[in-house]
Amino acid sequence: MDLGLKNKIALVTGASSGIGAAVARLLAHEGADVVVAFGNDADGARRTAAAIEIAGRRAWLSRFDAADAAATASAIQAVGVETGGFDVVVVCAGRNIVTPLAEVTPEEWNAIIGVNLNGAFYTLRAVIPFLRDNAAIVTVASVAGSTGAPHHAHYAAAKAGVVNLTKSAARALAPRVRVNCVAPGIALTPMGRETVASLAPDYARTRLALQRYAEPEEIARCIVFLASPASSFVTGATLDVNGGREMR
């Protein structure tokens, strides 16, 4: 199936590893050029960029702290001018810390909200002047945003906010731009493996209908579909990709 992404320009945050890196690689295989946006993992970002170039597409590196409004705006403006604008934006930068609710400090709470929710808002606000007609934005939330999580309440709260930020952006930017959200379950990314380590050994078998955790590429395929013209009549939606952890 041709997703209609050939020669499109995409910006992917959190693209140095995990789901973001998988999205960036898949976009390149679908024919898009990709801005690899990242925070701290420069080596991972370079590996993602190399994979994009092996696929025959162009890659740009853009480093900024998504939790810093000024840094996000400055970096996105620079790369937006360089690329001439974006057809696709995937907001995937995220951070989680596994901490029981009673032990979460205000500093930890603010750090997790800062990256996952504030960072999503700062990114959306910064890309608006550079969105081309018929552009698509996909945010990445989490199943925890609808179920809650006793061991990472701050992350769950932030991701619930991302879902509703997505709906607000979809209304604000329609009809010129579509905005959707993917809410993954646990994927076997570096961050996801930390979550898995905090769960009972039989969690996947007993709590997930598919009885396993996701590979990053399985989440990425859903994100790229929503980012593509193949989903041209979808906006303001949240796609649950959680292996049957929750069925709404």
Residues with catalytic roles: 155
- Has this prediction a pTM greater than 0.85? yes
Cβ-defined contacts of 206-209 (< 8 Å, 24+)? 207/245, 208/242, 208/243, 208/244, 208/245, 209/243, 209/244, 209/245, 209/247
CATH number of 9-235: 3.40.50.720
Among 246, 134, 129, which residue's Cα sits nearest to residue 179?
Answer: 134
User: How does strand 9-12 pair with strand 59-63?
Assistant: unpaired
Q: What is the mean pLDDT of the chain?
A: 96
Residue 48 has pLDDT above 80, yes or no: yes
Query: What mean pLDDT comes out for the span 77-102?
Result: 96
List pLDDT tens digits, range 168-202: 999 999 999 999 999 999 999 888 888 888 878 89
Q: Which amino acid appears at position 44 of this protein?
A: G
- Domain chopping of the chain, boundaries: 9-235
Cα(154)–Cα(194) distance, integer angstroms: 16
* pLDDT surpassing 80 at residue 248: no
Q: pLDDT tens, 124-171?
A: 999 999 999 999 999 999 999 999 988 899 999 999 999 999 999 999
14 φψ region: left (φ > 0), alpha (ψ -120 to 50), beta (else): left
